[in-house]
Chain A
Amino acid sequence: MEALIRPEFGLTFWTILCFGLLVLLLSRTAWKPLMDSVNERERALKHDRTTAETARADAEKLKAELDAKLSDLKSEIGRRMDEARATAEKEKDLLIEEARSAAAVIVESSRKEIEAQKIEAARELRHKVAELSVMAAEHILTKQLDHRANTDLASKYLAELEKERPDLKLEC
């Protein structure tokens, strides 16, 4: 049975030679491409992961930015609305004020007009009354100065005159 454990050291030489050659050859032909592809894949995976992570971070940053912008816009809109409301309020007040003052002006001017018209009317009335009274007086006078009365008056006057001044008496 000692043949089992009696080493034939020539085979040791073959083993070392064989194994050494295998290490050299397989390192080049098998393990290098294998490790290269594995490393490549790992690198690609890592790269993909970092890319995805940066993309996520970017997206989150973008979202935060958009949120901030949105809230900015919201506050801006609120501000603008308030402003517009205030402006409208002011404008309304202004318009009312203006309308009120315009109305006052109109009232004032119409009162003046009315006053002027009143004066004018009074003057005209007075004028008309004077005219009318003159015309009435004229009428009355015309009516009183009739022909007979005048003739009587004239004969009376002539008689008086003949009496006073007989020289002048007409010989008739």
Chain B
Amino acid sequence: MGLKEILEHHIVDHIWSWVNLGPLRLPISKHLLMMGIASLIMLVGLPLLIRSRAKALAPFRSIIEIIVLFLRDEVVYPNLGHKGDGYMGYFSTLFFFILTLNLIGLVPFGATATGNLAVTAGLALTTFALINFAGIREQGVIGYFSHIVPKGVPGWLYPLLFPIELIGMVTKAFALCIRLFANMIAGHIVILAFISFIFIFGSLSAIVGFGVAPISVGLVLFTLMLELFVAFLQAYVFVFLTAIFTGAAMHPH
């Protein structure tokens, strides 16, 4: 088995069957299962934790509260202003959804759904929709599209800049999609590579393989810690950039 097969086995989705829903041909896959598990955890866990008055759960409640307040005060309010209150549900859910998917990817037998381009594309599409929705809601359709090109640009540049800005909007969402996907699979690839080292060196001789193993395992542990950090960081970055783009669409000046 080469590295290619190992990588594809561990990172690429496993499609078990297909569902036909009208014109759509929808896969039932491992990543969908992970999304389902994440959704279940969030749907059951978050309301329970938030509503419970149990003393044992108080620290978890505080953690959720601290994260949500951080998102509100450091991410949403600075970019969206106090109109951001209406978007808090979206941003909080986005953060916890990405975080949960990232963390499930680190659990044994789990798979990283956010390491799938289709999943991150779905998230980026919702962000794209949110950016345009918020901009149109704030400024009206005409106001929004007339503000797409920044103010103070000479009139003759408009025909050139308008398509560029339109492409820019798509690019932002596309960049979000690729950033999350790349960050999530990068760690996995590195871990798999480190583990493969053991077998690569083991194929030279068993002693070298055992000699390399502790170093590899140490490096894998280090990378896992890094991935844990990246799981939080990328969830934050995704939400933060979404907030910046949404804020820019709402307040064009």
Contact = CB atoms under 8 A, between A and B. Distances in A.
A8 to B, nearest CB: 5
Interface string B115-139: 0111101110110000000000000
Which of B65, B113, B118, B126 counts the most chain A CB atoms within 10 A? B118
B122 A27 contact: no
B185 A15 contact: no
A49 to B, nearest CB: 18
Given A7-B116, A12-B118, A15-B122, A22 B97 contact: yes
B25 A22 contact: no
Contacts of A5: 117
Interface string B71-109: 000000000000001001110111011000000000000
A22 B89 CA distance: 10
A18 interface: yes
A4 to B, nearest CB: 6
Contacts of B140: none
A34 B69 CA distance: 10
Interface residues on B, range: 35 or more
A27 B68 CA distance: 12
Contact of B89 (A1, A4, A14, A26): A26
Interface in A34-92: 34-35, 37-38
B27 A34 contact: no
A64 B218 CA distance: 71
Nearest to A36: B50
B73 to A, nearest CB: 11
Contact of A13 (B18, B24, B88): B24
B7 A10 contact: no
Nearest to B64: A34
A151 interface: no
A140 interface: no
B26 A10 contact: yes
Given A5-B117, A16-B126, A35-B85, 11 more contacts: A8-B116, A10-B118, A12-B118, A13-B122, A15-B119, A20-B126, A22-B42, A22-B43, A23-B94, A31-B68, A34-B68
